[in-house]
């Protein structure tokens, strides 16, 4: 077959490739453990197959608000493959409040309060016609633990090192479940390191991630089994995952942190998006 005879086939293949890269029009699946990567709008989302798991301190090393260990079941949902980036924040909000703007567009949007995340989500949903939200605390932990496995960190491992997560890995703070290494003292790209088996990046370290729930130190004692959404009210909202400035114990998947939702904007705090199936 002559080259000229191949031209129509080549053009058809190129057109097909162009269409498949249109983020708004298509959802592109690829198998990654129990997760399936999907690009919806301009936000890379991973499909998380729901299930039941033992939520809380399963290693006997947490504080009282991580207890008791209790069974929780969550429905299918989508979770951001990455922490929300500065680029994504600027595209929706028209500003950049991040403390580490020199880090670049792919670095997480930090220095945001819980209320800031709600304003962002409201504008994003209006712009895209989607229904993005923050994950619940139960959804976040389920995903960090690769579908509810008994694993200590959001990397899917029981030992964490500064070569696979951004935290204060200084040798003097070494724990039995950590490997010492470089302390970077700032955020790095949300696309750094390897993802866990669900395809989720930086579920431990880089920035604390706001979740939807109000905080109650005794909530686990009365949490419903199916799709718990936290207390109806409170003074604080929950954050998960630890940050670049924290020690390895804060990066545990079961660890719970809290902060006021209104005026508290910290260089340690960011978020990732979720949405229903």
Tens of pLDDT along 153-184?
A: 999 999 999 999 999 999 999 999 999 999 99
How many CB atoms within 10 Å of residue 18? 9
pLDDT at residue 57 tops 90: yes
Tell me how far apart the alpha carbons of residues 39 and 27 are, in angstroms, rounded to a whole number: 6
Q: Measured between alpha carbons, how far apart are the two ends of the chain, in Å?
A: 48
Specify burial of residue 182 (Cβ count, 10 A radius: 0-12, 13-18, 19+). Answer: exposed
Strand pairing class (269-270; 208-214): parallel
The CA-CA-CA angle for residues 53, 54, 58, to 5°, reads 140
Instruction: Concatenate the DSSP letters of all residues of 140-189 into one string.
Output: HHHHHTTTT-S-SBTTS-SSEETTTS-S---GGG--TTEE------S---
Tell me how far apart the alpha carbons of residues 168 and 244 are, in angstroms, rounded to a whole number: 6
Q: Where are the domains of the chain?
A: 28-276
pTM over 0.95: no
| pLDDT at residue 43 in the model | 77
**Span 237-256, mean pLDDT?**
98
**Span 5-24, mean pLDDT?**
37
Long-range contacts of 175-181 (CB under 8 A, 24+ apart): 175/247, 175/248, 175/249, 177/152, 177/248, 178/248
**Strands annotated E in the chain:** 31-32, 35-40, 43-48, 51-55, 70-74, 77-80, 132-133, 160-161, 178-179, 208-214, 237-240, 257-259, 269-270, 274-276
| pLDDT at residue 40 in the model | 39
DSSP label of 132: E
Per the prediction, the chain carries an average pLDDT of 88
- At the topology level, CATH places domain 28-276 in 3.90.1580
Residues in the chain: 277
| pLDDT at residue 42 in the model | 53
In terms of pLDDT, which residue wins out, 99 or 42?
A: 99
């Amino acid at each position: 077959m002559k080259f000229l005879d191949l031209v129509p086939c080549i053009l058809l293949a190129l057109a097909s490739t162009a269409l498949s890269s249109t983020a708004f029009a298509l959802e592109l699946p690829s198998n990654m453990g129990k997760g399936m990567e999907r690009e919806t709008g301009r936000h890379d989302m991973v499909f998380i197959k729901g299930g039941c798991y033992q939520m809380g301190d399963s290693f006997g090393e947490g504080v009282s608000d991580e207890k008791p260990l209790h069974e929780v079941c969550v429905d299918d949902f989508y979770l951001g493959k990455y922490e929300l980036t500065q680029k994504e924040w600027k595209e929706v909000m028209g500003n950049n409040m991040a403390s580490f703007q020199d880090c670049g567009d792919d670095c997480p949007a930090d220095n945001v309060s819980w209320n800031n995340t709600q304003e962002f989500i409201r504008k994003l949903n209006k712009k895209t016609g989607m229904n993005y939200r923050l994950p619940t605390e139960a959804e976040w932990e389920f995903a960090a633990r690769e579908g509810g496995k008994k694993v200590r960190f959001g990397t899917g491992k029981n030992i964490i090192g500064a070569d696979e997560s951004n935290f204060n890995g200084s040798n003097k703070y070494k724990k039995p479940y950590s490997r010492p290494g470089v302390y970077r003292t700032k955020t790095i790209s949300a696309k750094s390191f390897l993802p866990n088996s669900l395809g989720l990046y930086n579920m431990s370290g880089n920035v604390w991630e706001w979740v939807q729930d109000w905080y109650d130190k005794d909530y686990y004692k009365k949490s419903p089994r199916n799709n718990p959404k936290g207390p109806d009210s409170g003074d604080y909202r929950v954050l998960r995952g630890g940050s670049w400035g924290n020690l390895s114990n804060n990066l545990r998947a079961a660890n719970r942190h809290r902060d006021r939702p209104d005026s508290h904007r910290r260089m340690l705090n960011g978020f990732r998006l979720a949405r229903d199936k």
